[in-house]
Structure 1
Amino acid sequence: MGPKVFIDGDAGTTGLQIVARLEGRRDLSLLRLPEDRRKDPEARREALNACDLAVLCLPDAAAREAVAMIDNPETRVLDASTAHRTAEGWVYGLPEMDAAQAEAVRGSKRVANPGCYPTGAILILRPLVRAGLLPADTPVTVNAVSGYSGGGKALIARYEGETADGPDFFAYGLDLKHKHLPEMQACSGLSHAPIFQPSVGRFRQGMLVSVPLHLWSLPGRPAAPQIHETLSSAYAGQRFLRVEPLAAAGTLDPQALNGSNDVAFHVFADASGERCLISAVLDNLGKGASGAAVQNLNLMLGLEEVAGLEPAIAA
């Protein structure tokens, strides 16, 4: 039967996709509650303590409450909410973040699944900060666009419901207090929170995260090929990450990796060598949510890391 997995919140966008990736697997078993008991606190408490791994696909407050319900010391927890991403005692579930991160995830009983936007931003910024090409106190801007599924059921209804009225494009987070900023800053190694400008387009899923850099302003004036080589070295041999060839022009499709757990990095350089743009393409429902969760689940349960992550999972 394999280890038992309980998904608390399996009717939400992320929960449904995790279920789709786990159903049919023979190396684990899913604990499911009947529909009429899905929100019953006692039924949830029983399942949370009966499973080997609980995956929390809940709002932040509900995720904290769920953790408090667990008194079985053997139950591992993977939280897909924002609640524990910078909390003490929790491992950040981005296995490619450092050479030792996958082992940290594998050995932890409390893992916080990353946010979709921070996944792209951290994987761009952290290697550059650690290599000294980007000082930790550099003012950084992160621009991003996501498919509307990232906003959950309410936003999906604005685009797919009977009275759909979602705009072609909109920017948000304009108070500069987006909930992803703490993990973005902490895990990138930045001294200050970046200016983060998220937006949503009229497409269901897919994501593009970009960081522009004024190379002339950085110590040692690093060249774009150095930036590219640093990222390439950091992610050499990674199953789900790839760095595309250095380019001077082109176009990027935020939907290019939909249905996968992959991230593709692109480095663009201008002719003067004074500026470059680094972009990450990923599926906000894949490596940005359910795909990352399954990857972390596999590591935590000692299963094959790529199990259930073969493309493509239907939206």
Structure 2
Amino acid sequence: MASPLVFIDGDQGTTGLHIHERLRERNDLQLLTLPAAERKDPRRRAEAINASDIAILCLPDAAAREAVAAIENPAVRVIDASSAHRTAPGWVYGFPEMDAEQPQRIAAAHRVTNPGCYPTGAIGLLRPLVQAGLLPRDYPIAMHAVSGYSGGGRPAVEQYEGPSAAQAPAFQVYGTALAHKHPPEMQRYAGLDHRPVFVPAYGAFRQGIVLTVPLELRLLAPGTDGKQLHACLARHYAGTAHVQVIALEDTQALTHLNPQELNGTNDMRLGVFINEEHGHVLLSAVFDNLGKGASGAALQNLELMLAPT
């Protein structure tokens, strides 16, 4: 039997390059790429995607929609790393740890949409708590996240690594219009009734994320405390390969969170920090925006889709 043919459309972008680097040495699949002169040729791209077994789209949203529209071969399966299809009907959400059945759904899917980097942390923290009834669906969620500048794509990388890098800010909050593209995805897959308030930022480091969600215990279900929240997350992710929940005794000793701690991995580490005196809890997620938040997630989904049925 021939090895599966995988086409990376957009293999010169940040996510595509990482995926290409991870796959090019493998001998259990064939990797299809286009020469530089043909990468923007719609006809050649359509030929390539229709010739593949699995296409991984590492493209801007509009280009990803065009690529999917060009598929005529019903056997072609797609992993879309853009945000074009994250809430679209007929697409399976590519977060395997979301629930116990999600790996099977991804494995059987023809269309898989990779989660966004920030939503990976937000959904990873909130969905289990909402499903368990510990976090009300109508809780007024507000979250803050700091990502490495690679999350901004080529323009941000050029700002921090190009000729004017010395003038790049050490820290910048953006999305102040509160109209970022990620909250609809967060709301849908976390199971929230209302759009969360999301405040993102970039730091002067290349990759890594810290995302935090503050909670007030007085607004949760009666009798809910921080230990119950932690126990819920620990149960949900027990036995998963890529998501860990920090033990409560370890969070008590932590005085800071390092966004770069898990760089170069496909792991995500969740924390529950409790201040009983004030009735406050801080949920945290640390992971690599180019790993679990992008290329690593795509490769995790690829492995599931390639697995024998």
Partner of 1:68: 69
Partner of 2:270: 265
Matched, 1:300 2:300: no
Partner of 2:125: 124
Distance in 2 (alpha carbons) for counterparts of 1:58 and 1:169 = 27
Contact 2:171 2:204 in 1 (8 A): yes
Distance in 1 (alpha carbons) for counterparts of 2:28 and 2:41 = 28
Distance in 1 (alpha carbons) for counterparts of 2:257 and 2:188 = 28
Any residues of structure 2 matched to 1:153-164 within 5 Å, and which? Answer: 153-164=154-165
Contact 2:9 2:33 in 1 (8 A): no
Q: What residue ranges of structure 1 are gaps of 5+ in the alignment?
A: 305-315
Task: Give the residue type in structure 1 aligned to 2:18.
Answer: Q
Distance in 2 (alpha carbons) for counterparts of 1:27 and 1:197 = 42
State which of 273, 288, 301 in structure 1 corresponds to 2:293.
288
Contact 1:223 1:273 in 2 (8 A): no
Deviations 1:127-168 (A, max 9, x none): 000000001011111110000000001100000001223200
Distance in 1 (alpha carbons) for counterparts of 2:115 and 2:59 = 14
Q: 1:111 to 1:53 in 2, by over 3 A?
A: same
Partner of 2:207: 205
Q: What residue ranges of structure 2 are gaps of 5+ in the alignment?
A: none
Equivalences, count? 304
TM-score normalised to structure 1 length = 0.94
Partner of 1:45: 46
Q: Which runs of 4+ in 1 moved over 6 A?
A: none
Task: Give the residue type in structure 2 aligned to 1:299.
Answer: L
Q: Secondary structure at the match of 1:96?
A: helix
Q: Secondary structure at the match of 1:46?
A: helix
Contact 2:212 2:284 in 1 (8 A): yes
Deviations 1:266-290 (A, max 9, x none): 1111142611101000000000000
Deviations 1:197-254 (A, max 9, x none): 1000000000001111001221213111101000000000000010011133521100
> How far apart are residue 37 of structure 1 and its match?
1.0
Matched, 1:24 2:25: yes
Contact 2:38 2:44 in 1 (8 A): yes
Distance in 1 (alpha carbons) for counterparts of 2:221 and 2:304 = 38
Partner of 1:147: 148
Q: Secondary structure at the match of 2:55?
A: strand
Partner of 1:166: 168
Greater shift, 211-220 or 102-111, is seen at 211-220
Q: Secondary structure at the match of 2:133?
A: coil
Distance in 1 (alpha carbons) for counterparts of 2:87 and 2:262 = 28
Matched, 1:91 2:92: yes
Q: Secondary structure at the match of 2:107?
A: helix
State which of 211, 217, 239 in structure 2 corresponds to 1:237.
239
TM-score normalised to structure 2 length = 0.96
Distance in 1 (alpha carbons) for counterparts of 2:143 and 2:28 = 39
Q: How many percent identity over aligned positions?
A: 57
Partner of 1:4: 5
Contact 2:216 2:279 in 1 (8 A): yes
Deviations 1:255-274 (A, max 9, x none): 00000000001111114261
Distance in 1 (alpha carbons) for counterparts of 2:19 and 2:308 = 16
The alignment yields a C-alpha RMSD, in angstroms, of: 1.2
Distance in 2 (alpha carbons) for counterparts of 1:232 and 1:163 = 45
Q: Which has the higher helix share?
A: 2
Distance in 2 (alpha carbons) for counterparts of 1:196 and 1:283 = 19
Contact 1:224 1:273 in 2 (8 A): no
